[in-house]
Every structure is written in C-alpha cells, then in structure tokens.
Amino acid sequence: MESICQILARELGQKLEYVENVVTLMDEGNTIPFIARYRKEMHGAMDDTTLRTLETRLTYLRNLQQRREEVKKSIENQGKLTEELSQAIDAAATMTEVEDLYRPYKQKRRTRGSIAREKGLAPLAEAIFAQDGQDPATLAEAFVDPEKGVESVEDALQGASDIIAEDLSDDADIRKALRDLVTRRGVFTCKAAEDAEEEGVYQLYYDFNQPVSRMLDHQILAINRGEKEGILKPAITLPGNEGAALVCRAALKPTAQVSAFVRAAAEDAYERLIFPSIQREVRSDLSDRAYAGAIRNFALNLKPLLMQPPVKGFVTMGLDPGYRNGCKVAVVDPTGKVLDTAVVYPTFSQKKKQEAIAVLSGLIRKHGVRNIAIGNGTASRETEAMTAEMLTAFPDVRYMIVNEAGASVYSASPLAAAEFPDYDVNLRSAVSIARRLQDPLAELVKIDPKAIGVGQYQHDCPQKELDSALGAVVEDCVNAVGVDANTASQSLLQQVSGLTSATAKNIVAYREENGPFTSRSQLKKVPKLGPKAFEQCAGFLRIPESKELLDNTGVHPESYPAAKALLNLLGCKKGDNLADLTRKLEAYGLSKAAAECAVGEPTLLDIAKELSKPGRDPRDELPAPILRKDVLEMKDLKPGMELTGTVRNVIDFGVFVDIGVHQDGLVHISEVCNRRLRHPSEMVKVGDIVKVVVLNVDEKRHRISLSMKQVKQQ
C-alpha cells in the first residue's frame, strides 16, 4: 500500500524526496512562507500555492488514516473484523468509502430492521435471502410468536423484508455503484415554492433541470441559498427505473425463478433507504465542491487585491461619502499619519456643495494633497462629481475610487479604537480609505478578509475552511512583500512568518521603548521572540535604518556569509551599483558560484536578486492603479465605447470591471476572450488594468454589459 508521502508525490507530480522533506519541515514547525522562500533546495522550488495544497492534502490523508484505524478497532472490538474487511478499509481512498464499509457495524438508533432483529427474525431474513426456492410464507410460519410481538405470518414477513432492505442499504458496493450512477446519470431539478415571488432573485431556478454531471458551482450555491430561504425546492432524480434495477441486480440471484419477495424488499430498500441517503450524499458532495470552488475563487481574488501597487510618497485625502451624516474627510501624510480631518455636506444643496469644495480646497493647499481616495459606498457618485469639479483648479491632483468594503467593520473595531481613540467611527473610516490608496496591503490586513468582498457566497461557505484559506493568502502576501519592522502596525507584523499576536505586540512595545531597530539581530532581544521564531521571521522583516545592507533585503541572516562571499567572488566593493549583479552571476556561472559560496543554486540566485534591488517591493513592478481627473456617468455610456478599467472581482460567470462610473460593468465569461474558458481567472485577476467595449447599458436595472474580446487590437 502507498504511503502518505507517495500519494502526495503522485498527486502533485513531485519527487518523493521533496515531498518527504516538506512533510518533515512542516512537522518541525516551519511555516509555509519560510519553507517556500528559504528551503528551496529541499523541495525543488515548489511555490507557496503547491505547498499549501500539499499541507491541506497531508492533513486530509492523515485524518483518513486515523479514521481507518478507529473503524478497524471498533469492528475488531465487536469480533467481526476479517482480513478481507481490514484490507478493504485500508484500500479506501476517501472518508466516504471508509464510512460505507463501517456502516453495517455502526451503532444505530432503533430502526424497523433493528426492531425486527430484536424479535428474532434475522434467521428468517437469511433463509429467504438465500433464494433457494423455498416459499417465504412457509418459512415464516415457524417464526410466529405473539410473545415476541410477531402476531402473524404477515408480521414475520414484514420484519424479514425490513431486515433485508436494511442489509442492502448498508452494502458498500451497492452504495458506491448507485452513487456513481447518480453522479453520471442523475438530473438536478428545482421548483419554486408556492409563495415565491414571480420575479425574484432566484427566478432562473423556478423551473430548472440540469444533469448532475454538468452542475456549475454558482448554480449549486444559488440553489442552496434559495432552499435555505424557503424559496426553492431542489431534488435529484434518476431517469427511468435505473436505480431500483441496480439494487435488484445486486440482491437477486440469477436463478430461473426470481424471488418476488426479495425483489420487493430490494425496491423498498432503494425507495425508502438507499436513494434518499445517496441523494443527500451527492448533494453534500456537490455543495462541498462548490464551497471549495468559492473559497478557492475568493483566495484567488484576494491575493491580487492585497498585492495592488501602493501609491507611495504623497499626501493623500480620504473621502468617506454619505448623505445624512455628511462626507467624512481625513488627510494623511506619506506614511499614513493623520494630518487633518473634517466633515462636509456636498449632497445637501448647491450652497453646501460649494462650501464643501472650499473646505477641501483649503485642505489641499494647506497640506499639499496630491491624491484623493473616494470610498465607493453610499453617495460616492455625488462625491466624485464634486471632486471632479473641484479638481479643475488643481491640475496636479488626481482621484481614485477605492473599494471601501470592510472599512466600516475596521472603523468600529477595538483595533481602530486603539489606533484612533480621539476620532469617531466615521472619521476612522476616512483614514482607512486614504491609507488603502497609499498601501492596500498594510491597511487591508487590519480587516477580516471575509469583509473585503471579492468573492461570491462567502457567507454560505464553511467558515473554518474559508478563514484558513484567506488567512494563508494574507500570510503569503505579507511575507512576499516584506515588512518594515520599525513602522509596521501590530496587525501587519502578526502576519509575518513565525510571529504571533503576542510577539508582534512585543515588537511594537520594544521599539516604542528603545527607539527604532538598528539591526535584525536586535530582534532577538524582543521578549518571547525565541530562536525558532527569529529563524522563521528574520528574512521577512526589513530594517532600513541598519548599517548592514543585507538587513534591508530578503536575504536570510543564515545566508549572510554566502551573500558576502558572492560579492567578493564577483569583485564588488562597498558603494558599487549592484543593479547588474544577476547578470554578472550568470556570466561567472551559477553552479560554479553556488559551490564556492557553499549554498544551493536557487538560494544564490535569490540572494543576487535581493542584492541588486535592496529594499525592493515586488508590487512596484505591477501596473499602477488608474487615477482620474474627470467623472463619467452611466448616461454617458453608449454601446461601442471603448474604455479602460480596473478588474474588481472575478467570479465563475464573469468579470466585474470598474470603468469610472458608480456601477461596475460585467464582462460575461463568453466575452472575456475568443477561446472557451473554464474560469475567467485563466485570463484576468483582480487589479488588472483592462480595455473593454460597452455592449449594453440598462440604467433602470443599473447593469452594464461589457466585452474584452471585442476590443479592437492595435
């Protein structure tokens, strides 16, 4: 039998040696970011996504193995574990298969079959199921016993039928065959509940049928939600009599005279016990698949959102639009420190709008504001129009609509209260919006990823799995960028490999008490930050103030000797421009240099890249976000217009693109490109700058249809 590591190696297409190394590293307490970045030689440079998949499958396979042992022990305690059954349990590849094999031996609540066994009718059921030509009624006469509750031959036969039906429903082979049949040939149907609205949200599913094998994840999720709300009534059916026929074939002996009694018991088993159970299982499997897809899609969208290029180095104004409570304003310096706040009321009247422009213009002049971030919530459109009007007097100032999802969650949190104790909730939100433009990652890590809103049906998904997947994305993004140990918030620091909420808090307290860190080694003085934590976090924490250049790079302290050996090898002196270090290394010979520096080739290449761009931010290499001067409204859109926009969300059936109007437009999956796609994420990701053509504008329903594939090629 294959070991867990052999299964993982086969599934992932990786060398067994690499998989075994990763499992050992994980068991030793190393984090995924640390393994991905600093142990490449041990795993063949697997990326963090592959390592996360390996970790998830490792957990499942270990739980599966544990469940196998529990099941075998339980059956053995009953004295019923045979060699054949033990081998079958060991060979079961999924939890479902293990549970199917365990089903006949599992402690059950009282059923019709168990009650019949209590009455002593099991031998009768066995005799009838033998199908050796004896008459069931004649056999039943010997089991009539009023004292046991068997009043007549009919009672005895009914009890025997219940036992046969239950035994058939517990048969692992029958269940597996029927499950496969339903998956291949079943039809998923859905009807509207009697009190459903004629033109409701779930109208598409009021008279719906689709082969189970062709059900799409978003359909499953929509139907599940509609059923939960009492609007939809879904079911799974099998065409003809295929299901009952399958059970009968398994139950009936191929003799000249088929037992009508056993056939009836088999049909009862199918209708009453097996099919309802299999229907629930198949629906559960479909839901699990859809939830896994939704979680995967959310994680896929979250990563580029967090990795959006920051707009650094400028004083920024954040506007949190609103009607009744006005538009909240916060001005922050290039590091995110609050310089000024205000509240204006541009939607109340023309007079109030001009007053608002005057106040904002004064703040722009006073603080040298260069960029304005406008939240995309309530009153965003009116605030944008006012901003565009105001900016005619400020040719160097630009604005951008910022997704404010989760800003209100953050502003009302204990974290925001601790950070801004003197500001009310609304002003905190304006600060968050400004900072989201300056450094999306540093600000968004303060918010529960579920509140960011770049997925679909996330609130219906298993929350533990969703939290785990999104937490992994946040961790990978933070560690890919690196963190300035002297300026990062506790929220950002606790996402660094090896750090916890407590050690992150201690880092902040240490620098407040002792001043900025001046070297990475100084981190070892932070309380509770032990050798293992230092090993895991050191390479991801940057110390720009350090005299040691390497402390402001992604080079791990354990590789400092190799980095210095490389510089000596290539004849680099202090103060030299190292921009072309990678080219010099390739000219010298990577393998030769790696041997002389006593490190692996992947590590040496990473060292050269880091030295060539000390303090580099990988996000700076991505396309910059679009900053605007003017405003576009839905009524300005006409079919055929070609526009540039930013991808805001990528879901199963299409892509939502911000084209500068209040409502995002939808590029249906069929309009993304000229080839068939399984998912739009094959072509685009959140944050991409794309060109689109307007197909249709429905102002009444606030819908904009766009196309990417119809853009004229230059």
Q: 337 with 287, same domain? A: no
Could you say which of 265, 297, 329 is where a domain stops? 297
Contact (Cβ atoms closer than 8 angstroms) between residue 534 and residue 498: yes
> Does residue 434 lie within any of the structural domains?
yes
> Does residue 386 lie within any of the structural domains?
yes
Q: 133 with 214, same domain? A: yes
Q: 137 with 269, same domain? A: yes
Q: 178 with 275, same domain? A: yes
pTM of the model: 0.81
Q: Which amino acid is at 254?
A: P
Q: 657 with 696, same domain? A: yes
Q: 395 with 249, same domain? A: no
Tokens 């005057």 locate to 358
**DSSP state string for 152-185:** SHHHHHHHHHHHHHHHHHT-HHHHHHHHHHHHHH
Q: φ and ψ at 669, to 5 degrees?
A: -55, -30
Q: What is the model's pLDDT at position 632?
A: 65
Q: 14 with 122, same domain? A: no
Under DSSP, is residue 368 helix (H, G, I), strand (E, B) or coil?
Answer: coil
Among candidates 361, 347, 182, 184, which has minimal Cα distance to 279?
A: 182
Assign residue 690 the CATH number of its domain: 2.40.50.140
> Does residue 602 lie within any of the structural domains?
no
Domain of 216, in residue numbers = 112-297
Q: 229 with 139, same domain? A: yes
Q: 277 with 327, same domain? A: no
Burial class of residue 5 (count of CB atoms within 10 Å of its CB; 0-12, 13-18, 19+): buried
Q: 187 with 50, same domain? A: no
Q: What is the model's pLDDT at position 300?
A: 87
> Does residue 519 lie within any of the structural domains?
no
> Does residue 443 lie within any of the structural domains?
no
C-alpha distance from residue 652 to each of 219, 294, 468 (Å): 10, 9, 21
Query: How far apart are alpha carbons 340 and 329 in whole angstroms?
Result: 8
Among candidates 288, 321, 300, which has minimal Cα distance to 454?
A: 300
> Does residue 118 lie within any of the structural domains?
yes
Q: What is the model's pLDDT at position 132?
A: 86
Burial class of residue 418 (count of CB atoms within 10 Å of its CB; 0-12, 13-18, 19+): exposed
Mean pLDDT by 10 residues, the chain (714 residues): 92 95 96 94 91 94 96 93 93 92 87 92 93 90 91 93 94 94 95 80 90 93 93 92 92 79 94 94 94 90 87 92 89 91 90 93 95 86 87 90 78 80 83 90 85 75 89 91 91 93 94 93 94 95 91 93 90 79 87 90 90 80 69 78 85 86 86 89 87 87 87 71
Q: 36 with 159, same domain? A: no
Assign residue 234 the CATH number of its domain: 1.10.3500.10
Assign residue 50 the CATH number of its domain: 1.10.10.650
> Does residue 160 lie within any of the structural domains?
yes
Could you say which of 267, 297, 327 is where a domain stops? 297
Give residues with Cβ within 8 angstroms of 701, minimum separation 6. Answer: none
Give the H/E segment covering residue 645. Answer: strand 642-651
Query: How far apart are alpha carbons 545 and 543 in whole angstroms?
Result: 5
> Does residue 574 lie within any of the structural domains?
no
Count CB atoms within 10 A of the CB of residue 322: 22
Query: How far apart are alpha carbons 55 and 468 in whole angstroms?
Result: 12
Q: What is the model's pLDDT at position 576?
A: 74
Q: 288 with 221, same domain? A: yes
Could you say which of 438, 455, 482 is where a domain stops? 438
Burial class of residue 37 (count of CB atoms within 10 Å of its CB; 0-12, 13-18, 19+): buried
Total domains, the chain? 4
Assign residue 429 the CATH number of its domain: 3.30.420.140
